[in-house]
Amino acid sequence: MIDRAIQSGVSRLFLPNIDRESILPMLDLAQKFPENCFPMMGVHPCSIGENYEEELAIAEDWLQKASFCAIGEIGIDLYWDKTFLKQQQIAFAQQIDWAKARNLPIVIHSRNAFQECYEIVKEKQDGTLKGVFHCFSDGIREADLVLGLGGFMLGIGGVVTFKNSGLDAVVRHVGIEHLVLETDAPYLAPVPFRGKRNESAYIVHICRQVAEFKNMMPQDVAKATTENSKRLFGC
């Protein structure tokens, strides 16, 4: 899969952590492809439950032991249930503090929880915080709020290729300097692979769609969004 990505011209893959289970496989992959795979550390909101303090302690311990390009994925997910909203809010705020202390960007997972995420980021933004709202799927109003925070970009994934996603309006509205491309593999495969297992090579389909909406050449979108990611992640 990584070989196919590299052959397609996709050479920089950002690996989000989920919870204690994903850490070793992620680091193993990053070690095999040190030029291409950049791991993050954090606890995903869907892995925040009763024992969230233990999950956070494990992630924080890894931050001392290894080097990571970002704190992520972190955020709030209210899609399945709201039982642990309070814990998700506490964990999100705490992990943002880790990012600030280490001058790392954050990669935010927000699902059915834009307002909840936004409020915490806004409160924490002191001019030093930067990051990406990954797989952004809200509207123009929310996009403007994100850009108003300063230091934040919108991560555009396969949903942009779905009919009636509403993302065409957002992509047309926002300057290319505020966008980064992503796959969210193995989820959210772009058309023509919708519903199948997603992989990094498919980002070319996302790039093509963004180029069409922005009336740009795909190679110019690729160049601009790659530069944006370098500026954001510093690698």
With respect to Zn ion, which residue has the nearer C-beta, 109 or 214? 109
Q: State the nearest-atom distance from the C-beta of 109 to Zn ion, in Å.
A: 4
| Least distance to Zn ion, CB of residue 220, Å | 27
Amino acid at 184: D
CB 69 within 8 A of CB 37: no
d(CA 104, CA 114): 22
Task: Report, in Å, the least distance between residue 14 CB and Zn ion.
Answer: 12
Backbone φ and ψ for 144, nearest 5 degrees, come out as -65, -40
Query: What is the C-alpha separation between 152 and 235, in angstroms, rounded?
Result: 17
Q: Which stretch binds Zn ion (CB under 5 A): 51-59, 65-73, 204-212, 225-233?
A: 65-73
Closest to Zn ion by CB, 55 vs 73, is 73
In the complex with Zn ion, which residue's Cβ is closer, 152 or 224? 152
Nearer to Zn ion, 190 or 211 (CB): 190
Of 71-110, binders to Zn ion (CB under 5 A) are: 73, 109
* 71-77 β-sheet, strand order: 71-77, 106-111, 131-133, 152-156, 179-181
Q: Which residues would be at the binding site for Zn ion (CB under 5 A)?
A: 73, 109
